[in-house]
């Protein structure tokens, strides 16, 4: 195995040189300006938006109303054309706000900023700032310099400089967060032929283990119960650093932080999922039995063209091995339909892989060519109407599988970490099982952050409905209150 020869590093202590923000609390919110952040894309962007709010906390307070903001940041995603277009359309709306309030500073951050750089200023002359993902930690300095020199617009998209992910010690922007991400690495070395990530986030850099542990301690001190370790390919954590642990070593180290209730990680590359990592699902009690393992296609030929470095059979044997080590494991995946050259037979391979693995949930996407990627120049692009048909078929097949998998849970009891009021119905609460199923149930909002036993009453396609044992069933008339010894 690639990583089994390495062990945990000496003392997992924070590297103070990376400490960039440790504010005192003596700034009154009345003195603060207003910051609005719109976020598109993946969890990495969510994490970056959270960091931007944290590091600007001395000067700005978050607002949900862009029209009253002094600083507007649109954190963009370039992975698919649709997300990019949505960001442009939102920015177009902000242009009108800027006309009304010319002093408003508008910035674009994230992957589109990195990919397009200064070209964005020609396309959108009202923009003040273009900031790539590796430069967001310099935001206070960039804003200060811009204001002092009255020099807008400005572009900050350096990718080649030495970069390390700083440790941010400011409070999390959200009140009483139950779960949060902690990034463990940045960038990617895999160069899948459809993906812009290596072009916009640079080559893979692992964060020092001491900083990761320090950030986990920091978020736990704020009430977080569940931590999700985040990176483009977490399984290859530490490969370039001989004195860092391998990923399984990091998992064990993080799990040992006092107060951590649950641990997850995302995203995994199937090629790098070692037996050591698989064993953690059995041996590390905090690690939840859920794995997001992107397959992208069920056809070996298409996987090769995607440069994924595994075949269909290798993926299936990885899944078999994992299920034999941890039979309770819940699997989810990403899929691309209509990749260039995908034939009907390739597509049928994908459908049959879905039936074989029985994922709990999938995140399918129609292929869209991205600038600067190899697949964008492949000549055998699949027509949109074929992509649409395949997309619908994948959803149909997966809905049946997902429903089947969820039905098995009806009547069973599950350990659920309650996250707070349900989004759809604020009178209810929502939480997650260890297998990452979202579950909605009647109950008091005060249970947020508690792990409770929930009885699954009904399976839906994408979520579950449940009740606290001892409470009145949904089916019973006159439901008024919940009685449960757990609270
Ligand atoms: S593994 Fe492939 S798809 Fe994932 S970020 Fe890296 S290049 Fe992109």
- Residue 32: give its domain's CATH number: 3.40.50.12160
Report CA(304)–ligand 1 centroid distance (Å): 14
Report CA(376)–ligand 1 centroid distance (Å): 15
In this structure, the residue with its CA closest to atom 1 of ligand 1 is 190
Query: Measured between alpha carbons, how far is 202 from 12 in angstroms, rounded to an integer?
Result: 26
pTM of the shown model:
0.87
Q: Please, are residues 375 and 340 in contact by the beta-carbon 8 Å criterion?
A: yes
For the stretch 35-56, pLDDT in tens is: 999 999 889 999 999 999 999 9
Report CA(15)–ligand 1 centroid distance (Å): 28
pLDDT at position 486 over 60: no
- Tokens linked to 282: 């059995």
Is 392 in the same domain as 444? no
pLDDT on residue 16: 30
Please compute the mean of the pLDDT values over residues 409-425 and round it to a whole number: 93
Nearest to 226 by CA among 268, 257, 187: 257
pLDDT at position 161 over 90: no
pLDDT on residue 27: 61
249 part of a folded domain? yes
Query: Measured between alpha carbons, how far is 382 from 343 in angstroms, rounded to an integer?
Result: 9
Report CA(212)–ligand 1 centroid distance (Å): 22
Is 338 in the same domain as 390? yes
Using DSSP, state whether 466 is helix, strand or coil. strand
The beta strands (E) that lie in 201-296 are given as 205-206, 226-230, 262-266, 290-292
Report CA(453)–ligand 1 centroid distance (Å): 37
Residue 81 banded pLDDT, cuts 50, 70, 90: confident
Write the DSSP symbol of residue 255.
H
pLDDT on residue 4: 29
Mutation test residue for ligand 1: of 80, 190, 268, the one with most atoms within 8 Å of CB? 190
- Give the residue, 183 or 469, on which the prediction is more confident: 183
Is 331 in the same domain as 419? no
Is 194 in the same domain as 283? yes
CATH of the domain at 226: 3.30.750.210
Q: Which residues contact 141 (CB under 8 A, 6 or more apart)?
A: none
- Tokens linked to 236: 């290859």
pLDDT at position 105 over 60: yes
Nearest to 69 by CA among 48, 47, 98: 98
Is 400 in the same domain as 429? no
Is 79 in the same domain as 137? yes
Residue 158 banded pLDDT, cuts 50, 70, 90: confident
Using DSSP, state whether 417 is helix, strand or coil. strand
Report CA(237)–ligand 1 centroid distance (Å): 14
307 part of a folded domain? no
- Tokens linked to 60: 């700005």
Report CA(192)–ligand 1 centroid distance (Å): 6
309 part of a folded domain? no
For the stretch 355-410, pLDDT in tens is: 999 999 999 999 999 988 999 999 999 999 999 999 999 999 999 999 999 999 99
- Tokens linked to 63: 């607002």
**Mean pLDDT value across the chain:** 89
For the chain, give the longest Cα–Cα distance: 68
pLDDT on residue 263: 98
pLDDT at position 79 over 90: no
Nearest to 200 by CA among 115, 265, 285, 287: 115
Say what percent of the chain tops pLDDT 90: 78
Is 143 in the same domain as 27? yes
Report CA(233)–ligand 1 centroid distance (Å): 7
The beta strands (E) that lie in 115-258 are given as 129-131, 154-156, 167-168, 179-183, 185-186, 205-206, 226-230
CATH of the domain at 373: 3.30.750.200
Q: Please, are residues 290 and 414 in contact by the beta-carbon 8 Å criterion?
A: no
Among 106, 128, 156, residue at a domain's last position: 156
Report CA(306)–ligand 1 centroid distance (Å): 10
Query: Measured between alpha carbons, how far is 192 from 141 in angstroms, rounded to an integer?
Result: 35
220 part of a folded domain? yes
Residue 472 banded pLDDT, cuts 50, 70, 90: low
Is 398 in the same domain as 433? no
Query: Measured between alpha carbons, how far is 358 from 355 in angstroms, rounded to an integer?
Result: 5
The strand order across the sheet containing 105-110 reads: 60-62, 33-39, 71-76, 105-110, 129-131, 154-156
CA triplet 259, 262, 268: central angle to 5 degrees? 135
Query: Measured between alpha carbons, how far is 64 from 35 in angstroms, rounded to an integer?
Result: 8
- Tokens linked to 441: 């149930």
Q: Please, are residues 166 and 137 in contact by the beta-carbon 8 Å criterion?
A: yes
Query: Measured between alpha carbons, how far is 308 from 60 in angstroms, rounded to an integer?
Result: 42
212 part of a folded domain? yes
Is 48 in the same domain as 103? yes
pLDDT on residue 26: 55
Mutation test residue for ligand 1: of 111, 133, 192, the one with most atoms within 8 Å of CB? 192
pLDDT on residue 473: 54
Report CA(329)–ligand 1 centroid distance (Å): 23
Domain with 376, as residue range(s), is: 319-408
- Give the residue, 286 or 424, on which the prediction is more confident: 286
Q: Any idea of the CA torsion for 275, 279, 281, 286, to the nearest 10 degrees?
A: -130
Pairing label, strands 438-442, 428-433: antiparallel
CATH of the domain at 457: 2.40.50.140
- Tokens linked to 421: 């009021």
Determine whether 331 is exposed, middle or buried from the number of CB atoms within 10 Å of its CB (0-12, 13-18, 19+): buried
Is 348 in the same domain as 418? no
Among 127, 156, 185, residue at a domain's last position: 156
For the stretch 448-468, pLDDT in tens is: 999 999 999 999 888 999 999
Mutation test residue for ligand 1: of 43, 44, 77, 197, the one with most atoms within 8 Å of CB? 197
Is 117 in the same domain as 65? yes
**Cβ(255) to ligand 1 under 6 A?**
no
- For ligand 1, what atom is nearest to the CA of residue 232? 5
Domain count, the chain: 4
Mutation test residue for ligand 1: of 189, 198, 202, the one with most atoms within 8 Å of CB? 198
300 part of a folded domain? no
pLDDT on residue 166: 87
Alpha helices in 117-237 (DSSP H): 119-123, 139-149, 197-201, 209-221
- Give the residue, 428 or 423, on which the prediction is more confident: 428
**Cβ(190) to ligand 1 under 6 A?**
yes
Main-chain phi, psi angles of 430, to 5 degrees: -130, 155
Please compute the mean of the pLDDT values over residues 83-89 and round it to a whole number: 91
Q: Please, are residues 273 and 293 in contact by the beta-carbon 8 Å criterion?
A: yes
Is 400 in the same domain as 434? no
Query: How many CA atoms lie less than 13 Å away from 108 in the CB half-sphere?
Result: 33
Angle subtended by helix axes 247-255 and 209-221, to nearest 10: 30
In this structure, the residue with its CA closest to atom 8 of ligand 1 is 195
164 part of a folded domain? no
Q: Any idea of the CA torsion for 481, 482, 483, 484, to the nearest 10 degrees?
A: -170
Q: Please, are residues 167 and 283 in contact by the beta-carbon 8 Å criterion?
A: no
* Distances from the Cα of 157 to the Cα of 110, 117, 197, angstroms: 10, 7, 14
pLDDT on residue 96: 92
Using DSSP, state whether 387 is helix, strand or coil. helix
Mutation test residue for ligand 1: of 41, 183, 188, the one with most atoms within 8 Å of CB? 188
Among 113, 131, 156, residue at a domain's last position: 156
372 part of a folded domain? yes
pLDDT at position 328 over 90: yes
**Cβ(188) to ligand 1 under 6 A?**
yes
Query: Measured between alpha carbons, how far is 483 from 256 in angstroms, rounded to an integer?
Result: 34
**Cβ(192) to ligand 1 under 6 A?**
yes
């Amino acid at each position: 195995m690639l990583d089994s020869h390495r062990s945990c590093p000496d003392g997992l202590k924070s590297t103070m040189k990376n400490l960039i923000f440790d504010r005192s609390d003596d700034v009154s919110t009345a003195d603060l300006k207003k910051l609005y952040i719109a976020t598109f894309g993946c969890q990495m962007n969510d994490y970056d938006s959270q960091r931007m709010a944290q590091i600007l906390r001395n000067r700005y307070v978050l607002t949900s109303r862009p029209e009253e903001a002094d600083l507007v940041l649109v954190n963009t995603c370039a992975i698919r054309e649709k997300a990019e277009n949505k960001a442009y359309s939102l920015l177009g709306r902000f242009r009108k706000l800027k006309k009304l309030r010319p002093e408003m500073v508008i910035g674009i951050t994230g992957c589109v900023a990195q990919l397009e750089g200064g070209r964005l200023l020609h396309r959108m002359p009202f923009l003040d700032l273009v900031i790539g993902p590796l430069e967001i930690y310099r935001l206070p300095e960039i804003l200060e310099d811009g204001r002092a020199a009255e020099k807008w617009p400005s572009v900050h998209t350096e990718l080649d400089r030495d970069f390390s992910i700083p440790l941010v010690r400011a409070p999390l922007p959200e009140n009483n967060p139950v779960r949060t991400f902690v990034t463990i690495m940045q960038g990617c070395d895999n160069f899948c032929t459809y993906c812009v990530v290596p072009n916009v986030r640079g080559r893979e850099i692992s964060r020092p283990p001491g900083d990761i542990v320090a950030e986990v301690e920091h978020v736990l001190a704020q009430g977080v119960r569940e931590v999700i370790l985040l990176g483009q390919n977490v399984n290859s954590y530490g490969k370039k650093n001989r004195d860092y642990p391998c990923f399984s070593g990091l998992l064990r180290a993080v799990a040992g932080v006092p107060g951590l209730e649950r641990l997850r990680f995302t995203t995994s590359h199937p090629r790098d999922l070692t037996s050591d990592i698989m064993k953690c699902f059995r041996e590390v009690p905090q690690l939840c039995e859920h794995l997001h393992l992107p397959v992208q296609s069920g056809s070996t030929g298409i996987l090769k063209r995607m440069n994924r470095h595994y075949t269909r059979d290798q993926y299936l044997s990885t899944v078999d091995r994992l299920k034999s080590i941890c039979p309770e494991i819940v699997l989810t995946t990403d899929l691309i339909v209509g990749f260039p050259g995908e034939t009907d037979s390739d597509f049928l391979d994908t459908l049959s892989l879905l039936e074989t693995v029985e994922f709990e949930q999938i995140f399918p996407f129609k292929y869209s060519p991205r600038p600067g990627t190899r697949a964008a120049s492949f000549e055998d692009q699949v027509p949109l109407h074929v992509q649409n048909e395949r997309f619908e078929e994948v959803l149909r097949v997966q809905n049946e599988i997902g429903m089947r998998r969820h039905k098995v849970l009806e009547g069973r009891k599950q350990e659920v970490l309650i996250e707070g009021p349900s989004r759809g119905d604020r009178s209810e609460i929502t939480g997650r099982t260890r297998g990452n199923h979202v579950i909605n149930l009647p109950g008091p909002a005060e249970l947020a952050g508690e792990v409770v036993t929930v009885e699954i009453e009904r399976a839906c396609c994408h979520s579950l409905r449940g009740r606290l044992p001892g409470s009145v069933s949904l089916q019973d008339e006159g439901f008024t209150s919940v009685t449960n010894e757990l609270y």
